[in-house]
Amino acid sequence: MFCYQCQETSKNEGCTIIGVCGKTADVANLQDLLMFLCKGISHYTMRLRKLGIEICEIDRFIVDSLFMTITNANFDKSRFITRILMAYEMRNAARERLISAGGKIDDIKFDGAHWIGETEEEMAEKALKVGILTSENIDIRSLRELTTYGLKGMAAYAEHAYNLGYTDSKIYSFIQKTLVDLTDDTLSINDLTTLVLETGKYGVQVMALLDRANTSSYGNPEITKVNLGVRNNPGILISGHDLKDMEELLKQTEGTGVDVYTHSEMLPAHYYPAFKKYSHFVGNYGGAWWNQINDFETFNGVFLFTTNCIVPPRKNSTYGDRVYTTGASGFGGFKHIEDRNDGHPKDFSELIEHAKRCSAPTEIENGEIVGGFAHNQVIALSDKIVEAVKNGAIRKFFVMGGCDGRVRGRNYYTEFAEKLPNDTVILTAGCAKYRYNKLPLGDINGIPRVLDAGQCNDSYSLVKIALALKDAFGLDDLNDLPIVYNIAWYEQKAVIVLLALLSLGVKNIHLGPTLPAFLSPNVANVLINMFGISGITTVDEDLKVFM
Ligand code: SF4
Ligand code: SF3
């Protein structure tokens, strides 16, 4: 195996024996093979698109497959084998359709468009020949992987939007066109750099689509106090990012005596008006994703992963038989709830019955945290915010969104938040917030010093907020705002968020805790020269520069 797609990759070089995340070599290789086959399928679907033919089932399959390969989403080998067999079927269907529509197929040379290996051994053997390292030039490899990870993040957001009935054929088309481009050995470094930037442009579009899907379905997030304590009923702890799953779980648990709590990235579900009406939607339990191996021990109930981030349970864990996955997520040994069929909701009855047999959660903290500062809510407060900036009460904003992770260096973000002067405000989205969202940072004239817009995909809100402030201050350039970007990344959704910010012209982003291993020195230099991207140093040094 070779995988360097996330921030925790071994030695900041690459995982080669087993993933730091726990992904085994066979699963990593099958993920490479699935990506290879998605590129093969796309060779046919792009030709079909040129003939005006779109196959929704395949669009969905590709998006879902990409999502399954995101860090910490799916560790289940059997799901990847099934998926690869499905990929052959999809590819055959696309090929047949192209032939019957009079399209050409004999000039498609890419091996992924033809290769079939039915047995596990054949798959394993082929997988070794199609991984990341097959791009020998390190700059080409770097640009291809940067684009690939952007596509994976894009696929995740497209999938959430799809689940709420929102699709955009241009996004599917871009993903498939780009998958084909990634197999084109004639593309130069310049061509691939252009592709990276284009990926960011579509990143903005997919986040806008998901924002529309979420807010049209569940209302605009509003200022909300989220309870951190527990009640005396058995509970289900739901994690991941999928709001459709959240809705269906809340509906199906209503009146059952089972409470529902959020973990990690599902916390922002509390900010949506449509979910607040459920009295059994109790609060948020625990911290960021990587804390699950502790938090799940004391929750005592049942767990539902709707997406990443899953951490393999410790050997002596007590909760492994109470965990369920759904959607793109999976883990060998956890039960998987099947997708919705023909417009019917998912069936969560098994896990609800399971939860009824469990004890109530053990309280690990109490109190409340405040969130819900997505674009609509912040723009409603913009007069107050602009006034606070004009009269000097707020000197600077710090965008500290992104991901959390388990490496020790991430203490930087807690210390950074603690040491920020009192006349600064943190704008955040994603699970990075768990590094500082429970600190007593206070408020400025009633404006909390941490404004949480929501999940990582709600980073789009941070952009809308910045654009609204730019207008309010009558500025021509986003970069003239008193905003510093100090972003933490971990997995591939953070990559699409970063590329989206770059495509909007945001400059001088600080990226930590380390720069991605998949950026070759030359590619890193391009990003530094074009966009002023840089890493982080120490809190004290960085604060001197930022303030
Ligand atoms: Fe390693 Fe990250 Fe890949 Fe897991 S996802 S194998 S930790 S680089
Ligand atoms: Fe977090 Fe996985 Fe990225 Fe969604 S839950 S931000 S890491």
Q: Which atom of ligand 2 is nearest to the CA of 494?
A: 3
DSSP letter for 533, please.
-
pLDDT confidence of residue 71: 98
Q: Between 3.30.930.10, 1.20.1270.20, 2.30.29.30, 3.80.30.20, what CATH number should domain 21-217 receive?
A: 1.20.1270.20
What one-character-per-residue DSSP string does 286-336 give?
SSSGGGHHHHHHHH-SEEEESSS---PPPTT-S-GGGEEEETT-B-TTSEE
- Residues contacting ligand 2 via CB (< 6 Å): 72, 241, 264-265, 289, 308-309, 403, 430-431, 455-456, 490-491, 493-494
Asked if 297 contacts 319 with a C-beta cutoff of 8 angstroms, the reply is yes
* Type and span of the H or E element at 497: helix 492-503
Average pLDDT (316-331) is 98
Give the residue carrying structure tokens 């994603």. 430
What value, to the nearest 5°, has the Cα angle with vertex 234 and ends 228 and 235?
Answer: 50
Q: What percent of the chain has pLDDT over 70?
A: 100
Residue nearest to atom 4 of ligand 2 (CA): 456
- Checking if the pLDDT of 523 tops 90, the result is yes
Q: Say how many Å lie between the CA of residue 28 and the centre of ligand 1.
A: 9
Question: Hey, what are 294's tokens?
Answer: 């502790």
Cα separation, 530 vs 547, in Å, equals: 23
Q: Say how many Å lie between the CA of residue 140 and the centre of ligand 1.
A: 20
- Checking if the pLDDT of 256 tops 90, the result is yes
Residue 148, judged by CB atoms within 10 A of its CB (0-12, 13-18, 19+), counts as: buried
Counting ligands in written order, the one closest to the CA of 516 is 1
- Checking if the pLDDT of 537 tops 90, the result is yes
In Å, the largest CA–CA distance within the chain is 69
pLDDT band at 381 (very low <50, low <70, confident <90, very high): very high
* Type and span of the H or E element at 224: strand 224-227
Counting ligands in written order, the one closest to the CA of 489 is 2
pLDDT confidence of residue 6: 98
3-state class (DSSP) for residue 399: strand
DSSP letter for 514, please.
S
- Is there a common fold for 21-217 and 224-356? no
pLDDT confidence of residue 248: 98
Average pLDDT (63-78) is 98
Site to substitute for ligand 1 among 1, 2, 3, most atoms within 8 A of C-beta: 3
pLDDT band at 342 (very low <50, low <70, confident <90, very high): confident
Q: Which atom of ligand 2 is nearest to the CA of 457?
A: 4
Counting ligands in written order, the one closest to the CA of 10 is 1
Please name the residues in contact with 285: beta carbons below 8 A apart, sequence gap of 6 or more: 228, 230, 235, 237, 261, 262, 263, 295, 299, 361, 364
Amino acid in position 249: L
* pLDDT, tens only, 398-438: 999 999 999 999 999 999 999 999 999 999 999 999 999 99
- Residues contacting ligand 1 via CB (< 6 Å): 3-6, 8-9, 15, 19-21, 23, 28, 71
Looking at the structure, give the CATH architecture of the domain made up of residues 375-546.
3-Layer(aba) Sandwich (3.40)
Residue nearest to atom 2 of ligand 2 (CA): 309
- Checking if the pLDDT of 343 tops 90, the result is no
Mean pLDDT of the chain: 97
Asked if 306 contacts 289 with a C-beta cutoff of 8 angstroms, the reply is no
Domain chopping of the chain, boundaries: 21-217, 224-356, 375-546
For the domain bounded by 224-356, which CATH number is listed?
3.40.50.2030
